[in-house]
């Protein structure tokens, strides 16, 4: 795997080995002096400070694999942002190539130098969250802009390190899951390192993975430097801890704990710290609790968040007004801007709310250097039951994907006593309960309406529509006309009586009685036939109708006569000598069809109204109340 | 109402529609029922002079 050049430490004479083909420096394990290799010559570069204790389980000589190639860890850099220290391991591969293996938040990042990469953007052109295009890589998003100071190192290294030297860098992600570092060094040339995140198991380093959910006995039992009270750290990569006894916020990233301030905590975590459970298939442990707030137009909105850790890394549970969200970090490059929102995993998210959010209360432990009162810019985008959340600082933008869960889900997952507090209002990513019922309801309504229309067409086509009487009725006031008897045959059916008279500027009323001769059962209908027109205020008007019709329901088989008694108001108009009256048997009735249509659409219409009302309530507290959110 | 009960409801509505059409039942009554006494029916010209037809109560137009 390595070329293996054995030598002796120029400082103490102890054996010194340059195992990697690219190794330029090595630290003597005995005297801690660094030696730099220039050709076959070694020169002493000075004593290296002791390593800072970290919780890594990797070590020099650890072997792993990446994309089918094996590697060996030959050395490491210890870097720091402020007080926090992390390790970047120098990995030598069998094909003489090399890369860095970094550990962060329970994950591994393997990157390789891209020699000769040209057209890389200058540092001053970058901002967290911005999209860039890199040669040979394509689209990437800047996740973090920061600087790191070299604290210590050990073993072999492919660089000539100087303790105290500061590097500026930009960490980026790609939408294919890639991870990039643009290393701007201390102001010199930029070097691109490209690779991806890899799990410990995939890298053949399962035994070196940080414990996902350590047992209570494996947690570090320590004492608070402020009050002496017992504190227990559950995670090895914890950087900040809020003492439950005195409220002291401790920086625990270095060897010695430092008190950063005293916090006031008035709130009780909805799930006690240290509680373990399984939510959405992930085994989790509650590590920290935050109260955060955002002030919009002078109104403060506060919500609570729980930091969790599980097999998949860090997770969050957020609760506002009894509405819970389960969040996990995602790569920024997989979030694509679209209009005022974003697209993630082919799902479109609309902007909901944004603003500077403040940490008001802090309890428990955190993997970053959290500070009370610290403010980050937050923006939430929703596509229920999902939510995208971005949090930005001047140096970093991170994205999380949230999923709406119920209080009952949370209570069950962590086996909490009692019942969860009742949710108030509508949660920002709460699924609309009417949405999943609406589509089937409208589909069914559409199918039923289609069936009704088809049936109606068949009924219209098959209706007998048989004229059983046609009668000319003299329009002489007081003169009653009786028809000859006529037969209505067949099953009970509707009978339509129509009347027509070409009246002009006059009015005719017809009292019509359909009389069953044998029983005397009669149905009475009345028609008004009129036609008036004129001009008023320069506008022409017309009213009335020369035609009238009425339907008589369920007329039984039998012999009938029709009695017609006219009333006439002629005035200055014209009234014809007769009105024409017809009786038609077996007509199609539109009223049952209309009622059926109303009944069928009533339910999906109600669901639609309730869906709209639900969405209106969801958006009323957003930056885009319903009227403008569309 | 879940989809199942709603489907049943739709089926009932469709069947009711068919039944109403088959029986020629108009849901909005457009006529008034009167029973003419047999004495009227039996009398010559009784239909013409019977006073309880009610008529439309027309009181004229324009």
Pull the structure tokens for residue A139: 């689209």
Could you give phi then psi for residue A246, rounded to 5 degrees?
A: -110, -5
Check residue A16 and give its pLDDT: 87
Contacts of A509 in chain B (CB under 8 A): 55-56, 58, 60-61
Going by C-beta distance under 8 Å and a sequence separation of 6 or more, which residues neighbour residue A454? Answer: none
Q: Which residue of chain A has the CA closest to B11?
A: A448
Q: Do A452 and B14 touch (CB under 8 A)?
A: yes
Full-model pTM: 0.73
Is the peptide bond prior to A385 cis by the omega test (within 30 degrees of 0)?
Answer: yes
CA atoms lying within 13 Å on the CB side of residue A189: 9
Could you give phi then psi for residue A160, rounded to 5 degrees?
A: -100, 95
Check residue B60 and give its pLDDT: 45
Geometric angle at alpha carbon A121, from A116 and A127, rounded to 5°: 140
Phi-psi group of A198: left, alpha or beta (phi > 0 → left; psi -120 to 50 → alpha; rest → beta): beta
pLDDT tens digit sequence for A197-206: 888 888 988 8
Whether the per-residue pLDDT at A217 is higher than 50: the answer is no
Whether the per-residue pLDDT at A134 is higher than 90: the answer is no
CA distance A143 to A180: 10
Q: Residues A432-436: what's their mean pLDDT? A: 92
Place A295 in a pLDDT band, splitting at 50, 70 and 90: confident
Tell me if residue A253 falls in helix, strand or coil. Answer: coil
Q: CB-based contact (8 Å) between B6 and chain A?
A: yes
Residue A507 is nearest to which of B28, B57, B60, comparing CB atoms? B60
CA distance A286 to A306: 7
Parallel, antiparallel, or unpaired for β A299-310 and A282-296? antiparallel
Q: Number of Cβ pairs closer than 8 Å across A and B?
A: 165
- Percent of chain A exceeding pLDDT 90 equals 57
- Percent of chain A exceeding pLDDT 70 equals 95
Closest by Cα among A467, A272, A450 to A363: A272
Q: Do B17 and A455 touch (CB under 8 A)?
A: yes
Q: CB-based contact (8 Å) between B40 and chain A?
A: yes
Neighbour count for residue B48 (Cβ, 10 Å): 14
Contacts of B3 in chain A (CB under 8 A): 437, 440-441, 444
CA distance A430 to A411: 17
What are the angstrom distances between the C-alpha of A584 and each of A492, A564, A588? 13, 16, 11
- Residue carrying the six token digits 């990042």: A109
Whether the per-residue pLDDT at B62 is higher than 50: the answer is no
Tell me if residue A509 falls in helix, strand or coil. Answer: strand
Place A430 in a pLDDT band, splitting at 50, 70 and 90: very high
Whether the per-residue pLDDT at A279 is higher than 80: the answer is yes
Chain-centroid distance of CA A369 in Å reads 28
Check residue A180 and give its pLDDT: 92
Closest by Cα among A627, A617, A11 to A323: A617
Q: Do B61 and A525 touch (CB under 8 A)?
A: no
Q: Do B55 and A506 touch (CB under 8 A)?
A: no
Whether the per-residue pLDDT at A594 is higher than 90: the answer is yes
Pull the structure tokens for residue A589: 């009735």
**A466 near A558, Cβ under 8 Å?**
no
Whether the per-residue pLDDT at B11 is higher than 90: the answer is yes
Closest by Cα among A497, A613, A490, A628 to A564: A497
What are the angstrom distances between the C-alpha of B47 and each of A350, A462, A498, B56? 76, 36, 21, 16
Neighbour count for residue A332 (Cβ, 10 Å): 25
Residue A441 is nearest to which of B3, B26, B58, comparing CB atoms? B3
**A475 near A508, Cβ under 8 Å?**
yes
What are the angstrom distances between the C-alpha of A459 and each of A161, A206, A489, A588? 92, 74, 18, 7
Pull the structure tokens for residue A191: 């070097």
* Chain A: closest CA distance from residue B43 (Å): 13
Whether the per-residue pLDDT at B56 is higher than 70: the answer is no
* Chain B: closest CA distance from residue A528 (Å): 8
Q: Where are the beta strands (DSSP E) in A367-425?
A: 375-383, 386-392, 397-405
Place A2 in a pLDDT band, splitting at 50, 70 and 90: very low
What are the angstrom distances between the C-alpha of A494 and each of A347, A491, A518, A575? 56, 10, 19, 31
């Amino acid at each position: 795997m390595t070329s293996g050049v054995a030598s002796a430490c120029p400082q103490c004479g102890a054996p010194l080995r340059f195992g990697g083909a690219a190794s330029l420096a090595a630290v003597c394990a005995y005297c801690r002096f660094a030696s730099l290799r220039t050709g076959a010559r070694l020169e002493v570069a000075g004593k290296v400070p002791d390593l800072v204790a970290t919780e890594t389980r990797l070590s020099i000589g650890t072997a792993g694999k990446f994309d089918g190639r094996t590697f060996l860890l030959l050395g490491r850099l210890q870097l720091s942002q402020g007080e926090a220290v992390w390790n970047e391991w120098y990995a030598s591969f069998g094909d003489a190539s090399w890369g860095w293996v970094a550990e962060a938040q329970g994950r591994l990042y393997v990157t390789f130098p891209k020699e000769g990469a040209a057209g890389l953007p200058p540092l001053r052109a970058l901002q967290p969250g911005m999209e860039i295009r890199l040669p040979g890589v394509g689209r990437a998003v800047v996740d973090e802009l920061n600087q790191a100071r070299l604290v210590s190192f050990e073993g072999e290294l492919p660089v000539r390190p100087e303790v105290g030297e500061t590097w500026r860098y930009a960490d980026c992600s790609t939408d294919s899951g890639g991870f990039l570092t643009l290393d701007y060094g201390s102001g010199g040339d930029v070097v691109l390192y490209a690779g991806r995140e890899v799990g410990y198991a995939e890298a053949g380093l399962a035994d070196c993975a940080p414990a996902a959910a350590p047992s209570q006995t494996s947690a570090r039992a320590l004492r608070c430097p402020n009050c002496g009270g017992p504190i227990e750290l559950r995670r090895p990569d914890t950087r900040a801890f809020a003492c439950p006894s005195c409220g002291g916020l401790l920086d625990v990233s270095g060897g010695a704990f430092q008190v950063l301030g005293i916090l006031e905590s008035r709130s009780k975590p909805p799930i006690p710290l240290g509680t373990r459970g399984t939510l959405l298939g992930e085994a989790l442990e509650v590590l920290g609790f935050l109260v955060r707030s955002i002030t919009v137009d002078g109104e403060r909105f506060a919500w609570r968040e729980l930091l969790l850790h599980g097999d998949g890394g860090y997770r969050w549970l957020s609760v506002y007004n009894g509405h819970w969200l389960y969040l996990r970090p995602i790569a920024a490059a997989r979030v694509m801007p679209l209009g005022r929102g974003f697209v993630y995993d082919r799902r479109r998210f609309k902007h909901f709310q944004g603003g500077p959010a403040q940490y008001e209360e802090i309890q428990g432990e955190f993997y970053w250097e959290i500070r009370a009162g610290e403010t980050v810019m937050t923006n939430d985008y929703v596509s229920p039951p999902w939510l995208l959340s971005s949090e930005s600082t001047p140096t970093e933008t991170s994205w999380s994907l949230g999923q709406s869960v119920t209080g009952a889900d949370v209570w069950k997952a962590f086996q909490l006593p009692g019942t969860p507090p009742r949710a108030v209002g509508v949660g920002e990513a709460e699924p609309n309960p009417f949405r999943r019922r609406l589509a089937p309801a409208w589909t069914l309504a559409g199918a039923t309406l289609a069936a009704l229309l088809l049936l109606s067409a068949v009924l219209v086509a098959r209706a007998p529509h048989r004229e059983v009487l046609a009668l000319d009725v003299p329009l002489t006031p007081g003169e009653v006309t009786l028809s000859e008897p006529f037969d209505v045959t067949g099953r009970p059916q509707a009978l339509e009586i129509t009347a027509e008279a070409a009246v002009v500027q006059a009015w005719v009323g017809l009292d019509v009685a359909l009389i069953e001769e044998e029983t005397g059962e009669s149905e009475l209908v009345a028609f008004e036939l009129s036609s008036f027109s004129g001009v008023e205020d320069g506008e022409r008007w017309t009213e009335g109708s020369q035609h009238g019709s009425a339907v008589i329901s369920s007329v039984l088989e039998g012999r009938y006569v029709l009695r017609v008694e006219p009333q006439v108001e002629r005035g200055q108009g014209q009234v014809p000598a007769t009105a024409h009256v017809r009786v038609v048997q077996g007509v199609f009735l539109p009223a049952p069809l209309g009622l059926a249509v109303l009944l069928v659409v009533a339910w999906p219409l109600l669901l639609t109204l309730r869906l709209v009302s639900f969405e209106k309530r969801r958006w009323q507290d957003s930056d885009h109340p319903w009227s403008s959110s569309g | 109402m879940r989809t199942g009960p709603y489907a049943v409801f739709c089926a009932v509505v469709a069947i009711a529609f068919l039944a109403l059409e088959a029986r020629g039942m108009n849901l909005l009554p457009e006529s008034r029922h009167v029973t003419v006494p047999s004495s009227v029916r039996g009398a010559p010209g009784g239909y013409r002079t019977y006073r309880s037809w009610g008529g439309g109560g027309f009181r004229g137009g324009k």
